[in-house]
Structure formats: structure tokens, C-alpha cells
Chain A
């Protein structure tokens, strides 16, 4: 599968097909993480995070792939792993071309992680509702049916409650971390 075909699958949200092409890259990422104080689980997490970065970037108008997808994902994975090691005060052993993120990037990434944690702290139904609305772009009437809310209005009110709760979680986490 060519890089262009993989990107096409990702843009059309055909994840299974994209992963068929992308999974060949995983062993090299795993090898790097294992050689730098990581575990197999770390490698899986980092690879998934790198795929999310790729997915987000290909959906921006400015995206242009200047190297192969393999090189791109390896580089993103190395940067992500560098950040993890930095938080643990350990640094990569291998002398490579990993770019060290600047302070603004580090802050933005920490904020992004806090927002993810704030969302993960919500109850299952809240997470399902917000994913259905903001990611799957389902209508509130569809959501009311699939998640057994008595009406569209109840689903809407619940959506706001969940968002509010996520914001509260974020504020607590932020205060706790500063």
C-alpha cells in the first residue's frame, strides 16, 4: 500500500484499511522505544499517539508529506517518547535527530494531556454522548435514541452537563498540577 493510499484511507476514516499499511511501521517504533527505557505497552501507546498526530495533521490544509510516512511516524514517535522520558527525567540513549520541543510546545502539550484526562474522568455515558456528538457528528435525536434518553432536549441538557463536568475536571487537574 502506498503512502498516498494510506492517507486517503485515513482521510475517509477507513481506519482498518489504513492500519493494514501502517502496521508495517510499528516494529521500528517498538525497537526504538524498547532500546530507550520503554516497554511494549509504551511502544503501543506512543505509536497510537503518533497515528493521532498524523491523522490531525493530514486534515489541516497546510499538510504536505515531505518524507515517507515511515520516516514521519518514526520522527513523531521519537518526539513523543522524548517528552515521556523528560517527564520521568530519563532521556533517550540513542544519539539521533530527535527535535527537542521548546517551552511553548511543552506547555501546549501538557494542556492537551490535561484536557484528555479531564474527558477520560467523565462517566461512560458522558464520554459516549460527547464522542457521538462532536466526533461522529450524530444529531441529538439520534443520540437520544442510541443512548436511551427520553427526548432530544434531555440529550442536549445532558451534553451541556457533561461538558461542564469536563471543564470542572480540567480546572481541578490544572490547579493540582500547578
Chain B
């Protein structure tokens, strides 16, 4: 693979001045290898977004799961505490 990473990145990020952009696009028309390299670089950049979004979802889902567990166990502890309190209360009074 040729090394046009910087040039391609500047092209994809719209950082090339108009003149350089036109020259680059002309070069692209006749250069299959360069075209392929752009496609690959674009795929890598797209995958970065996918992975970042997946990480965000993973974090949010984990947070949600922890919250559900805390609520579930909190409720169980509360019920057990209430039952033992009532049991203890009645045992002492009757």
C-alpha cells in the first residue's frame, strides 16, 4: 500500500486548498490504487465511529443493569427487613 495517509486525510477532512483539491481529484480519476487507499482510510474512520458508539452503548447498558440490580436487591433487602421487623415485633408482644 502506498503512503498517502496525510494527503488523503486532508482531502477527507476538507483541509486541502481548492487548487490542491482539484489536482488531487484529477489524480484520483486515473489512479486505481489511490482510490482503493481512500476507500480503506474512509472505512477505518467509519469504524472508529461505530466502535466509539458501541462503547457508549456498552457503558450505558452496564449502568442501567447496575441500577436495576441495586433496585432489585434494595427491594429484596427492604422486604426481608420489613418481615423480620414484623416478626420480631409480634414475637415480643404476643
Contacts and interface: CB of A to CB of B under 8 A. Distances in A.
A170 B9 CA distance: 17
B40 A49 contact: no
A26 B57 CA distance: 13
Contacts of B40: 115, 167, 170-171
Interface in A17-58: 18-20, 23, 26, 44, 47-49, 51-52, 55-56
Nearest to B43: A115
A15 B56 contact: yes
Given A48-B61, A131-B48, A134-B45, A167 B53 contact: no
Interface residues of A, number: 39
B27 interface: no
Interface string A148-178: 0000000000011001101110110000000
B35 interface: no
B32 interface: no
Interface residues of B, number: 28
Contact of B37 (A20, A116, A134, A167): A167
Interface of B: 1, 3, 5-6, 9, 37, 40-41, 43-54, 56-61, 63-64
What are the 5 A-B residue pairs with the smallest beta carbon separation, nearest first? Answer: A115-B47, A135-B52, A19-B60, A115-B43, A15-B60
Interface of A: 13, 15-16, 18-20, 23, 26, 44, 47-49, 51-52, 55-56, 111-112, 114-116, 118-120, 127, 130-131, 134-136, 159-160, 163-164, 166-168, 170-171
27 contacts: A13-B56, A15-B57, A15-B60, A16-B60, A18-B60, A19-B57, A19-B60, A19-B63, A23-B61, A23-B64, A48-B57, A48-B61, A52-B50, A55-B53, A111-B43, A116-B47, A118-B47, A120-B51, A131-B51, A134-B49, A135-B48, A135-B49, A160-B5, A163-B5, A166-B44, A167-B37, A167-B40
